[in-house]
C-alpha cells in the first residue's frame, strides 16, 4: 500500500511510541488521526508537529476502553476523511501499577479493557469500513511480554499482550484477503513507563538483549511503516527487541 494521502488512525499517539508512529506516517505523506485519552497537551503537541510538516491531521479525545467513546472516535474520523485506510491499535496501559496479588478486580478489568477489548472493538469498526472500501491494514502494538516465555512480574499486562498476538493471527484469517492484520512487539524502549524504575532493574533488562541497548521509538515506527507498505504479509507479529526473544 502506498501510504501517501492515506488516512491513518493511531490510538494513544499523544506521546512515546504512538507519537513516533504518527510522525513517521505523516512523514510518508499520510493524513493522521491523533488520539489521546487524558494527555491533551501531548496530543496537541503531536498534532502541531504533524501540521508543521504540512500534513493534514485531526486530534480526537477518546478512551478506547469505553465502547461509546470508540463509536464517537470512528464517527469523527469518517466525518473528517470519509475513509480509514490504516488502523494502528497502539493505546495501552503500560505494565501493572500494583503487584498482581494486590490487584483488585477493577485494576485487572481496566487493563484488559484498554489493552485487549479496546483494540478488538476498534478493529470491529475498522473492518466494517475497510470491507466496504475493499482494502485496509490493521496493525497492533504488542510487546515482548506477550511472547511465550511470559512477562515476569507484569502478569496482567503480559496476558493482554499475549491476547493481542493471538487476536492478530486469528483476525487476519477472518478478514483476508482484502485486509491485512499484523503486529509489532517492541522490546525495551525508553518511554515514561521506565522513568521511576530502579537502574539495577533497567540494566538487568538491557543486558538480556543481544544488542545491549534500548530500542528507539523511531525503530519501532519504521517497523509499522514497513508492514503498512507491504501487501504480502498478514497474521504476523514482528519482534523489534534487540534480540531479547532469542534467549
Active site residues: 157
Q: List the Cα angle 193/199/202 in 5-degree steps.
A: 60
User: In the chain, what is the greatest distance between 2 CA atoms, to the nearest angstrom?
Assistant: 51
Distances in whole angstroms, Cα of residue 162 to Cα of each of 36, 188, 203: 24, 17, 25
The string of DSSP codes covering 21-70 is HHHHHHHTT-EEEEEESS-HHHHHHHHHHHHHTT--EEEEE--TTSHHHH
CB 228 within 8 A of CB 25: yes
Amino acid at each position: 500500500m502506498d501510504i501517501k494521502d492515506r488516512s491513518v488512525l493511531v490510538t494513544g499517539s499523544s506521546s512515546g511510541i504512538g507519537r513516533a508512529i504518527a510522525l513517521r506516517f505523516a512523514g510518508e505523506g499520510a493524513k493522521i488521526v491523533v488520539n489521546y485519552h487524558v494527555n491533551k497537551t501531548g496530543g496537541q503537541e503531536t498534532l502541531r508537529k504533524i501540521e508543521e510538516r504540512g500534513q493534514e491531521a485531526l486530534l480526537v479525545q477518546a478512551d478506547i476502553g469505553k465502547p461509546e467513546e470508540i463509536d464517537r472516535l470512528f464517527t469523527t474520523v469518517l466525518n473528517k476523511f470519509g475513509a480509514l485506510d490504516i488502523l494502528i491499535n497502539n493505546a495501552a496501559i503500560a505494565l501493572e501499577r500494583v503487584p498482581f496479588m494486590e490487584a483488585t478486580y477493577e485494576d485487572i478489568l481496566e487493563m484488559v479493557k484498554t489493552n485487549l477489548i479496546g483494540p478488538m472493538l476498534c478493529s470491529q469498526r475498522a473492518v466494517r469500513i475497510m470491507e466496504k472500501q475493499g482494502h485496509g491494514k490493521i496493525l497492533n502494538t504488542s510487546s515482548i511480554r506477550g511472547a511465550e516465555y511470559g512477562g515476569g512480574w507484569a502478569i496482567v499486562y503480559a496476558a493482554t499482550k499475549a491476547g493481542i498476538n493471538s487476536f492478530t493471527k486469528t483476525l487476519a484469517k477472518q478478514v483476508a484477503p482484502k485486509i491485512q492484520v499484523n503486529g509489532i512487539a517492541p522490546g525495551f524502549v525508553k518511554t515514561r513507563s521506565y522513568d521511576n524504575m530502579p537502574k539495577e532493574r533497567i540494566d538487568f533488562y538491557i543486558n538480556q538483549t543481544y544488542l545491549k541497548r534500548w530500542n528507539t521509538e523511531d525503530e519501532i515506527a519504521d517497523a509499522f511503516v514497513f508492514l503498512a507498505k507491504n501487501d504480502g504479509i498478514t497474521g504476523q507479529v514482528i519482534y523489534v527487541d534487540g534480540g531479547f526473544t532469542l534467549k
